[in-house]
Structures are given as structure tokens and as C-alpha cells.
């Protein structure tokens, strides 16, 4: 396959984004899903379903960050493109820090920039209640995009 002709399926991506946006939708057209709330749990469960439907490996670390593969990976998969190194997409827990400061706490723990002990989210009951608290994960290279 000519990789220069490889394209994301735009309508499918839009449908995916719109489906996720229904969870925690606000009357003004926005979305509110506070970290580890019922809405966040519902969205994370949907994300896991999507990853699982593709037969992809799903891993959850000690901070509840979900590591898997999604839209770019669907395109690569359906076009049978193999990469030189594994690609992973992450659903970071509490990335904005709205419910549990500081911002980027869970990704900071994963990157080794912050210690898990002492972060408000690490000892919160919601993290344990969601079942998203497991073990540390390591990856060789990271490109973090928002």
C-alpha cells in the first residue's frame, strides 16, 4: 500500500467523537466529565469497548491511565500497515486537574516527574471504585498530543 494515500476515515472519526460527546453532554453543547465521576467511568468503559472490539491490547496503570490503540490504529490495521515500533494511545486520568489538582498529575506520575504518593487522585476512593488502579506501565518513546 502507498502510505501517501493512507487517509483517516473522516465520517467514522466524527461519529466516534460525537458518540463520546454524548456522555456528559451539557445543554449548551459542551461536555463535562469530571475525572473519575460516573460520566468519566462511562466514557472510559466506551473507550475500552472500542479498543477491545479491534482486538487490541488494553493496559491500565496504577493511576487509572488507559493505554491502547484507536483511530489512527484502526486505519493502520484495516490497511495492514506494520510499524517499526509499537504505537500506543493513552486516556490519561484527571489530565486537566479540574477535580483533583495538579493538572497532568497521572501523566506526571507515569513520566516520573511526580510521585504518586501525596497526589490527591492517588488516594481517592473513586480511583479504586472504578477498578482503574493496577500496575505501572513503561514505554520506550512518547509523543504527547492534546
Cell of 1: 500500500
User: Model-level pTM?
Assistant: 0.56
Q: Which domains are delineated in the chain?
A: 3-129 (3.40.630.10)
CA distance 143 to 133: 23
Give the least confident one: 12-21, 26-35, 45-54, 134-143.
134-143
Least Cα distance to 132 among 20, 25, 48 occurs for 48
With a CB cutoff of 8 Å and minimum separation 6, the contacts of 13 are 71
Average pLDDT over residues 21-42: 91
CA distance 76 to 41: 28
Tell me the HSE value of 59 on the side-chain side, using a 13 A CA sphere: 12
With a cut of 70, say whether residue 134 has pLDDT above it: no
Tell me what the pLDDT averaged over the chain comes to: 75
CA distance 105 to 29: 28
CA distance 142 to 16: 24
Structure-model confidence comparison of residues 5 and 19, the more confident one: 19
With a CB cutoff of 8 Å and minimum separation 6, the contacts of 42 are 23, 24
List, for residues 36-59, the tens digit of each pLDDT value: 888 988 998 998 898 888 777 788
CA distance to 35, 40, 59, per residue, from 98 (Å): 8, 13, 24
Amino acid at each position: 500500500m502507498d502510505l501517501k494515500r493512507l487517509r483517516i476515515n473522516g465520517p467514522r472519526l466524527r461519529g466516534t467523537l460525537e458518540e463520546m460527546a454524548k456522555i456528559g453532554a451539557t445543554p449548551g453543547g459542551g461536555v463535562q466529565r469530571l475525572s473519575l465521576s460516573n460520566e468519566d467511568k462511562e466514557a472510559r468503559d466506551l473507550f475500552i469497548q472500542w479498543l477491545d472490539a479491534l482486538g487490541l491490547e488494553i493496559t491500565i496503570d496504577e493511576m487509572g491511565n488507559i493505554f491502547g490503540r484507536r483511530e489512527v490504529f484502526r486505519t493502520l490495521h484495516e490497511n495492514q500497515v506494520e510499524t517499526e515500533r509499537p504505537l500506543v494511545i493513552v486516556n490519561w486520568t484527571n489530565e486537566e486537574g479540574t477535580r483533583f489538582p495538579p493538572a497532568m498529575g497521572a501523566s506526571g506520575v507515569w513520566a516520573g516527574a511526580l510521585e504518586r504518593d501525596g497526589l490527591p487522585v492517588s488516594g481517592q476512593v473513586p480511583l479504586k471504585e472504578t477498578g482503574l488502579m493496577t500496575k505501572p506501565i513503561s514505554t520506550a518513546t512518547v509523543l504527547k498530543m492534546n
